[in-house]
Amino acid sequence: SNCGILMAAEVAGRVLANHDSPGEPVTSGVEAFHNGFAHLLHDLESVSSSILPPEAWSGRIATVVDTGQEGTTWEAANSAYYRSLGIPWGGLFTTPRELLTFLAIFRSSQGGATSSGRRILSAAGAREMVTVQASGPDFDAVVAPELRDSAASASPRSAVPWGIGWDVKAGKRAHPTGDLNSPATWSHTGATG
C-alpha cells in the first residue's frame, strides 16, 4: 500500500500547492502534502503526531528490529535520516489513540468526520478512498509477485485491489488482516515505529 499512499499524497500535495499558489509551478507535491498533513493533524487535535517527528521525540519512538541495516546512518525506520524524509507511507509517528482518531474518519459511520463531528473529508471522498479503485490483471500469481505484495511472499496474492492509498481486502484470501473479516476491510500493511 506504500505506492498507493504516495500517489494519494502526490495528488493531495499538487491540489494543495495549486490552491495555495495558483499558477505557480508545483516543485514538490509531497512537500505541499507535508504542509497539508500538518494542517490535518491540527484539525484532528493531534498534539503527539507528526510526519516529520522532532529530534526530541527520538527516545519515545518505537524501534523496528531486524531491518538488515542496523548501525547505518540510513537505516530504514530507525535513523534520523529516515525519520527526516516525511514519507507519506511510513512517516506518520503517532500514539495509538491519535492513530485511531485518524483512522476513524474513514469509517462509513463517520463519513469523513471525526467522532466529535468535525468535517475532515467529504463523505464521498472518505468512502472512495476505502473502495476498490484499481485491481491488477487476473493472471497467475507467480507472474511478477514482487509487484503484488509489499514484501516477498511464499504465497503471492492473485489480485491486489486498491482504494486510494489503502489496501482493500475485497475477495483476497490469505490477506494480512485475516480471512474471516469483511471484503470491505481496508488497511495499510506496515509499521515503521
162: cell is: 486498491
pTM for the complete prediction?
0.72
Q: Which residue has the cell 484499481?
A: 134
Question: What residues contact 98, with CB distance under 8 A and at least 6 apart?
Answer: 44, 46, 48, 49
Question: H/E/C letters for each residue in the chain?
Answer: CHHHHHHHHHHHHHHHHHHHCCCCCCCCHHHHHHHHHHHHHHHCCCCCCECCCCHHHHHHCCCCCCCCCCCCCCCCCCCHHHHHCCCCCCCCECCHHHHHHHHHCCCCCCCCECCCCCECCCHHHHHHHCCCCECCCCCCCCCCHHHCCCCCCCCCCCCCCECCCCEECCCCCCCCCCCCCCCCCEECCCCCC
**Residue 123 pLDDT exceeds 90:** yes
* Residue 43 pLDDT level (bands cut at 50, 70, 90): confident
**Residue 150 pLDDT exceeds 50:** no
- The domain segmentation of the chain, as residue ranges, is 2-122
User: Tens digits of per-residue pLDDT, 70-106?
Assistant: 889 988 888 888 888 887 777 789 999 999 999 999 9
